[in-house]
Every structure is written in structure tokens, then in C-alpha cells.
Amino acid sequence: MYPVWEGLIFHSAFIVALVAVAHVLFSHVTVAATWFNWWVERKALAEGKPYLYDYLKASALRLLMFAYTLGAMFGVGIWFSVTASNPRGISTLIHDFVFYWAAEWFWFIIDVFGIAVYYYTFGRVNPKTHARIGLILALAATGTLAIIVGILGFKLTPGHWLQTGLSLDGFYNPTFWPMLFARFALMFALTALYALLVAAGLPKDHPARAEVVPLAGRVGLVGLTVGVALVLLWYVPSLPEHARVLLGVPQVVQKVFYVKMALGVVATALVLALALLKPNLAARAGAAYLALFLAFLGLFGAERTREAIRKPDVVLGYMASNQIIRVDFAPRGVKAEEGRLNQEGILKHLPFAVAPGAKAAGPAGGLDPVEAGRALVTLQCSSCHTVSKNTALLGGMRNLAAMFHRRGMTKAPQIRAYLEAIGGFPYMHPVVGTPEERDYMAQYLERLVKEFFPQASAGR
Amino acid sequence: MTPEALLAMRDPLGAPVHPLIAQILLVVTYVLHIFFVTTAIGSLLVGLYGLGRREENWQRLAKVAIRLSVQATGLGITMGIAPLLFVQVIYDPAWYTATTLMGLWTTLFIPVVALGYLFLYILYLRGNLAGVGYVALALLLLAGFTMHSLANAGLYPSRWVEWYAPGGVPDTTGVRFYGYDLPRFAALLFGQAALSLGVMLLLFAWYFRRREDVPQDFLAFTQGQAQGALRLGALLLGAFGLAWAFTQGRELGLSLPVALVALVVAGLFYLHAPRAKAEGALGTLGLYLGALLLVGILREGMRVAALGRMGYSPLAYPFVWDWGSLLFFVATGLAAVPVTVYLAQVLYASGRSKEGGDPSSGVERFGDLGVRLLVGWFIFYLGLGLFVVVRNLGA
């Protein structure tokens, strides 16, 4: 077990979500835009429409500046933020899939190098060679999607990996196929919005606008329809029962996330329909930015929901969100940790649970029970909950003090009883530790409630 | 932190290959990463300096350097993904402890780089906004210092618990830097930045030596600056390298190897600098990559020695052979490496004259093969998936 980083001002999980969605937005545009541009370039070649190159150049410059490099950077950003917030979770993925990521690295090199070659060779090599570079970019960018989908899906549906321990079984997991095709389709909708934004930057009477905008509308609408259908009819039914149950639990997936998703889909559909029917109206930067913002919100809702329905695990059926391994994993000789920690105690076994000699007063054998409780709560709860004022901006994420206050539990005995009960909730595991350690946790949580709600605590 | 606790922190899943393979890949990919990162810093510094000079050659060099800096930043980040992967495979206790101890800086690392990159791009597009360039430089240096601290904090397991919980009370905000060594940072960032810049400028002069539209006196000027950069890099690496030997090197009982490597690399390039010519740029590049490899091995040696005192050996990392993942990696490499070579060939051909230039028919055929290899990869990828699905049907 590692030191716990709670986050600062913003909760660590919130930071992960922000970085992840920025990455998804950039990277999805990257992949589909390469196919879209390849198609436009083929059209320019086959139909003798050199003016389309103006669109392609404008698109490539933005892809070079933003999508490719920033997309790749924010991909690494997810890694860093996840590493800081849940190191053992990312460790599980790394020790299983390091060579899949290393394979994806080859595609990244082609993407980042290739987009520069693509942009700087406009008009400097023959059109056929240039179109081939476009095709190479499209294939390599799709390669990145092809690989990351396997790793993403694994966390929620590890499938046969739980029995065999083979990385191939985890990679080609039960949600791999629907997620692969649904994401591939949906990214064309995002790309279409991006194409509108690029087209809006061309002069109003530029002939490329008249060609590209309706084409973007058509491609985007097909992508959106197919993608949404695949999510609803294939991806969701492929989810394990546990996850499908959680989709209906409002404490796990709040209504607002469904609203965001619906809003994203509807706004995207409307703008794309406009591109098809009234191209001049749709090719405005304001409309495209607004639609992209709403699509971002929708993505946030979708990614957040996918993460939430995996709870309380970081790898479903293997490791809990608190980074404790739940089960014996025979294929790799891994032993479950929960039982041992319940019996022998967390403080004794985990080097970073609390430093030895912490505040030598108190009845707990040289430990301050409240400080010991803080370490235990931080360790077990802070992946998902705000457990101190460090991350309490706007109340924080599922703030434990607010939850206890709302339920009228402001004293340690009440909180202690609640801690015993939470293992019975569908999205929580039992608290880990000896009975004495659970007492420490309750004592710290009492202090936490007092810190957040001093008057209410005093009045009870 | 006891040796037992350190060993227990290793991921129970074990590595998917023999740890020696991960160790070799870590060093080799680090060399690629640091080459581009230091190129980005070196070229940005010379670009900003050039913007402040009135001479035409300096103005021209500044533009070249800033464009180089933009591309090198993108490639540096991309190349950095690989060593980042492999360090987590066999040094997970050290890496994850460092990243969580400095959690705020860990998470800010990419936003800082991304912002620096954007400012750099603005400088490149506008050409003359030196102030924007200095902001970009400050951000990239902050990112460099963050990565330096993350790598260094992992070398001191005996201090981790005290760092995390000074006086016994855990600090979970991750706002402080730990483990840094300024001489090491200066030697490996500024010393190598000047050397990388020198190598890149030589390559530039070599590549454009036959272009009629590029003035020969500018190329001679560039070569002269390259030699100066190599000399400066040698001096910085030598001086800061010695300081590194007597700070962190002494702490870890490794003063001699650090001083030796620093002096060998510094001496080599100080002596080579006056003889470094555009015609021999590829030879200088080879020499430099060898030097970076030596420094990379020294870095790993320090890590092995520091953790070894706590009974931790990366080569004793438990592992299983996970053939599926190796198959995936090798198949992707077989498809992707030729395509990358093809792209480089196209770029090389396109810069041969002012108007551009087509690749030879042989290169074009190679490009067709590249596309087929990529399509073949997708067939492999989907076929392998179907095989796994079918195999698991009865399970």
C-alpha cells in the first residue's frame, strides 16, 4: 500500500475525470478526423477539387496543434492522475497490459510524427503520396483506439481473466466488442462537430464549406445513430448484472448524468441535422463550440457513469476501490488481503497507514486514536469520498461529513454502527480492519463532522 | 520502511516478462525520450536568445530553433510514455510512492507540459513574442523539475515514511517536492540540452547542405553555433556532474561512478566540439546516443544500488511469461516500425528542394507495403480477438 494523495482543493477523482474527458474528446476527434480527412482528400483527388485542400490544411494544423499532441499528452495525464490517486489500481493494469500499452506507443509515434509529416508535406510531395500519409494516419490512430478499448473494458468486465490470469482473456473481455464499435461510431459525431468548426474558419464564400459541411452532417449523424444504438442495444446488455443494477441506483448514478448524456446527444444531433439541411447556419464557430461543449458534458456523464457502475471495485471482482485485493487469485498465486487485515489490523501491516510514534498520547498503544482513525479513513474511503477539508471545494465529492450530518449521525457510536452496516450496500464493501481500528475510524469521523458542522454537532 | 515492507509493496501479479527485458527497454526508451526533451529545452533557449539578436543569421536560427522545439516537445512526451511504462513494471514501490507523495505535482505535470506546449506553439506561429516563449520555458522547466523529483524521491526508501508523515501525522496534500538534487537536475537537463542542441544543429546543417535556397554562410554559422553548444554542454555536464557526484553521488556511495561518467562524457564532447562538422553529423549523433546510453545506465545503476541496500533487486522481480502480450507487442512493432521509417523517408525527400520533392519509386513501394502491414495488423487484431472468444465459449 502506498501513501494516499487526497487531492488539493479538488478531489483526486474529480481531477482524474476532468483529464480523462479532455483526453477522450481530443483523442476521439483525432481518430475519426483522420478518416474524414482521408475521405475529403480522396474526393479532392478523384473529383479534381483542389480547393478542398484549404479545408484539409486548416484541419491538419489544428489536429497538429491540439488533437494529436494534446490528445496524447492528456492520455498520459490520465496515467499520472490515476497513479497519484489510485496507484495499486493502475499497477494492476500495468502488470497485466504493459505490452499492450507499449504496442499502443508505436501507434502514438506514428500519430505524432505522422501528423507533422502530413502537415508539412502539403504541396511538397505528390498528391498520391500525401493521401497515403493520410491513410496511414487514419489506420494508426484507429490502432490506438483498438488497443485502449481492451484495457478500458477490462476494469468493468475482466471476464475470463479472473479464472485464467491471461492478459488476452482480460483484453478481449465481454464489453470489448460493443465498446470498440460504439466508440468508433460515436467519434464520427464528435469529428463532424470539429469539421464544422474548421469549416467555419474558412471564408464564407469558400467552395470547400459547401462540400464539407453537409458531408460532416451526414457522417456525424450516421455515427451518432449507430453509436447510440450500439451502446443501448449491445454495450449495456453486455454489462454484468451488478453494473446494470447500479445503473438504476440514484445514489450511484445521479439523474443529472443521464440528463447530461441526453443533452449531449440531442445537441449534437440538432447541430448535425442543421449542417445537413441548412449548411450556412451550421457552419458558425459559435454553434460548433456550443455543441462541442455540450458533447463534452455528455461525455463527462457517460465516462462518469461507466466508472460509477464499477463500484465498489477498481477492477471488478479483483480489487476494491480502496486498493485492497478482495479475492484469492489462483492463476498468479495472489492472496486476498481483506481477511488478514481484519484479523491482524491495517496499522500493523501497511507501512504508510500511519507513521510510527504518531502523537504518543492516548490509549491506543502509542497512537492518537483520532489521528490513527484519520489515516484509516483516508486509506479506505478517500478514493471516492471527501474525508477532510483538503478537497472540500463546493462540498467535495460525496463528502462523508455531509453524509453523516444529513443522516443525523454526529457521534462516534452512531457512526461506528453505520460503518458496520455499509458492507450490505450494493456499491460498498465492508470496512476493513480490527474492531479497535473501526473505533478509531468512528472517532475521526466524529471529528470530521464537527469540523464541517460545528454548530449542529454541538446542538445534538 | 523495512526491507520486508519494500518487497511486499511489489505488485502481487508480477511482471509479464523476465525483468531484465523490462530493464533494458526502460534504459533504451529513456535515451529516446531524454534526447527529444533536452532538444526541446536547448532549442527553445537558443531560439529565445536568437530573437533578442539583430543579426539576420541569429533571427533565422531562432525561427529554426523554435520550430524544432515545438516538434521535439511533442515527440519528447510521446517517447516518454515507454520508460514511464517500464519503470512501473519493475520499480513500482519506488515509482508509486514518489508519485503519491508529490500527488499534486504528479497530476499537474501534464497540464503544465500542455500549457507550455501551447505557449510554445503561439511563439512559433507569431514568431516574435519572446515573453510567451519565456513563459513556455518556465513551464517546461517546472515539468522537468517535477519529473526529476519523481525519479529521485524513489531512491530514498528510508525517508519515505518521514516525508509522508512528518512527526507522525500524514500529509495527504502532496504539495511538496522531495528527493531533488539540483546539480543532477542541472547536469542532466541543461548540460544535455546544450549537447542535444549541438547535435541537432549539426544535423540541420548536414540536411540542408545541398539546398541552393539556403545560404551557405547561414549553414556555416549554424555549424559554428553547434560547435559552441557542444562545448558549452560539455562544460555544464562536467561541472554540474562533479557537483552531482559530491551531493547525491556521495549520499548513495556512488561518487566515483557519477564523476567518471560526467567527466568521460564532458571530455569526449569538449574534444569533439571543434572537429564536429556538418558532414559528420550522423557520426556525432551516434556518439551522442552512446553517451546518453551511458548516462541512462548510470541512472539505473544508482536506482539499483539505492534500492539494493534495502534488499530490493529489480532482477529478482517475480514474473510469469505472458506470451499473449508479447505477441501483441511484437506484431505491432513489426507493422509500425516500417511505417515510421517510411514517414521519415517521405519527410527527408520532401525537404530536398525549396519546392519539395517526391520519394523514389522504391520508397513509394515501401509505403504501399506499410499500408498493407497496417491493414494486416487489424486482421491480426480482430482474428486474435475472435480466437479468444471462440476458445472461451466452452469455458
Arithmetic mean of pLDDT, A102-112: 93
**Could you tell me which chain B residue has the CA closest to the CA of A13?**
B107
In a mutagenesis test of the A interface, which of B1, B9, B90, B107 is the best target, namely the one with the most A β-carbons within 10 Å?
A: B107
Cell numbers placing A134: 493520410
| A286–chain B Cβ distance below 8 A for any pair | no
Give the pLDDT confidence of A267-289 residue by residue, as tens digits: 999 999 999 998 888 888 888 88
Partner-chain contact A351 B320, CB within 8 Å: no
Partner-chain contact B165 A107, CB within 8 Å: no
Polymer length of chain A: 460
Partner-chain contact A72 B78, CB within 8 Å: yes
Measured between alpha carbons, how far is A430 from A322 in angstroms, rounded to an integer? 11
The closest alpha carbon to B9, from B322, B320, B311, belongs to: B311
- For the cut 80, the answer to whether the pLDDT of residue B104 exceeds it is yes
Partner-chain contact B356 A135, CB within 8 Å: no
Find out whether the peptide bond into A237 is cis, omega within 30 degrees of 0: no
Partner-chain contact A352 B164, CB within 8 Å: yes
Cβ-based contacts of A105 with chain B (< 8 Å)? 78, 81-82, 85
Arithmetic mean of pLDDT, B207-235: 94
**Could you tell me which chain B residue has the CA closest to the CA of A15?**
B107
Degrees to nearest 5, angle at CA A440 with A435 and A441: 95
Task: Mark which residues 251-270 of A lie under 8 Å from B by CB.
Answer: none
Per-residue pLDDT at A357:
55
CA-to-CA separations, A71 to A24, A111, B37, in angstroms, rounded: 8, 10, 18
Cell numbers placing B251: 549520499
In a mutagenesis test of the A interface, which of B25, B88, B355 is the best target, namely the one with the most A β-carbons within 10 Å?
A: B88
Give the pLDDT confidence of B238-260 residue by residue, as tens digits: 999 999 999 999 999 999 999 99
**Could you tell me which chain B residue has the CA closest to the CA of A330?**
B13
So what's the ipTM on this one?
0.94
Measured between alpha carbons, how far is B230 from B241 in angstroms, rounded to an integer? 16
The closest alpha carbon to B218, from B227, B228, B205, belongs to: B205
Partner-chain contact A77 B114, CB within 8 Å: yes
Question: In this predicted model, which residue has the larger pLDDT, A311 or B190?
Answer: B190
Cβ-based contacts of B124 with chain A (< 8 Å)? none
DSSP A405-430: HHTT--SHHHHHHHHHHGGGSTT-PP
Partner-chain contact B74 A99, CB within 8 Å: no
Partner-chain contact B378 A15, CB within 8 Å: no
Per-residue pLDDT at A361:
37
> Which helix (H) or strand (E) segment is A320 a member of?
strand A319-320
Strands (DSSP E) contained in B297-382 are: none
CA distance B145 to chain A (A): 15
- For the cut 90, the answer to whether the pLDDT of residue A140 exceeds it is yes
- For the cut 60, the answer to whether the pLDDT of residue B53 exceeds it is yes
Q: Count interface pairs A-B at CB distance under 8 A.
A: 325
Per-residue pLDDT at A369:
85
In a mutagenesis test of the B interface, which of A35, A91, A162 is the best target, namely the one with the most B β-carbons within 10 Å?
A: A91
- Which of A228-237, A242-251, B43-52 has the lowest average pLDDT? A242-251
Give the pLDDT confidence of A414-460 residue by residue, as tens digits: 999 999 998 887 788 899 999 999 999 999 999 999 999 988 655 54
- Which letter does DSSP use for residue A316 in this model? T
- Nearest CB to B100; choose among A8, A87, A335: A87
CA distance B24 to chain A (A): 14
- Nearest CB to A100; choose among B113, B325, B378: B325
**Could you tell me which chain B residue has the CA closest to the CA of A136?**
B371
- Nearest CB to B113; choose among A6, A73, A83: A73
CA-to-CA separations, A57 to A279, A291, B352, in angstroms, rounded: 21, 23, 21
Arithmetic mean of pLDDT, B203-220: 92
Give the pLDDT confidence of A313-334 residue by residue, as tens digits: 899 999 999 999 989 999 989 9
pTM: 0.92
CA-to-CA separations, B31 to A32, A105, A240, B75, B197, in angstroms, rounded: 32, 15, 44, 13, 15
Arithmetic mean of pLDDT, A100-121: 93
Measured between alpha carbons, how far is B118 from B136 in angstroms, rounded to an integer? 8
- For the cut 80, the answer to whether the pLDDT of residue B394 exceeds it is no
Cell numbers placing B55: 543579426
- Nearest CB to A358; choose among B106, B169, B371: B169
**Could you tell me which chain A residue has the CA closest to the CA of B337?**
A106
A7: which strand partners?
A11
Residue B362 CB coordination number (10 Å): 9
3-state secondary structure of A313: strand
Cβ-based contacts of B379 with chain A (< 8 Å)? none
Give the pLDDT confidence of A59-81 residue by residue, as tens digits: 998 888 777 777 778 888 888 99
Beta-carbon contacts of residue A125 (< 8 Å; ≥ 6 apart): B346, B349, B350, B356, B357, B358, B359
A11: which strand partners?
A7
A320: which strand partners?
A313
Partner-chain contact A94 B92, CB within 8 Å: yes
Per-residue pLDDT at A355:
46
- Nearest CB to B107; choose among A1, A80, A105: A80
Tell me if A386 sits within 8 A of A11, measured CB to CB: yes
Q: What is the mean pLDDT of chain B?
A: 94
Q: What is the mean pLDDT of chain A?
A: 89
3-state secondary structure of A305: helix
Task: Mark which residues 293-352 of A lie under 8 Å from B by CB.
Answer: 325, 329, 332-335, 351-352
- Nearest CB to A167; choose among B100, B324, B377: B324
Partner-chain contact A98 B85, CB within 8 Å: yes
- Give the strand pairing for A319-320 and A10-11: unpaired
Chain centroid offset of residue A62 CA: 24
Task: Mark which residues 3-42 of A lie under 8 Å from B by CB.
Answer: 3-8, 12, 15, 19
Per-residue pLDDT at A68:
75
Per-residue pLDDT at A358:
53
| A68–chain B Cβ distance below 8 A for any pair | yes
- Nearest CB to A76; choose among B15, B110, B167: B110
CA distance A111 to chain B (A): 10
Degrees to nearest 5, angle at CA B91 with B320 and A375: 110
Q: Which amino acid is at B81?
A: I
- For the cut 60, the answer to whether the pLDDT of residue A360 exceeds it is no
Partner-chain contact A91 B9, CB within 8 Å: no
| A366–chain B Cβ distance below 8 A for any pair | no
| A106–chain B Cβ distance below 8 A for any pair | yes
DSSP B267-287: HHHHHHGGG--GGGHHHHHHH
> Which helix (H) or strand (E) segment is A314 a member of?
strand A313-315
- Which of A20-34, A349-363, B294-308 has the lowest average pLDDT? A349-363
**Could you tell me which chain A residue has the CA closest to the CA of B338?**
A110
Cβ-based contacts of B332 with chain A (< 8 Å)? 103-104, 106-107, 143
Cβ-based contacts of B14 with chain A (< 8 Å)? 95, 332
Arithmetic mean of pLDDT, A19-43: 87
Strands (DSSP E) contained in A2-135 are: 7-8, 10-11
* Percentage above 70 pLDDT, chain A: 96
Instruction: State whether the Cα torsion A172-B90-B333-A116 is positive or negative.
Output: positive
Partner-chain contact B78 A112, CB within 8 Å: yes
CA distance A174 to chain B (A): 9
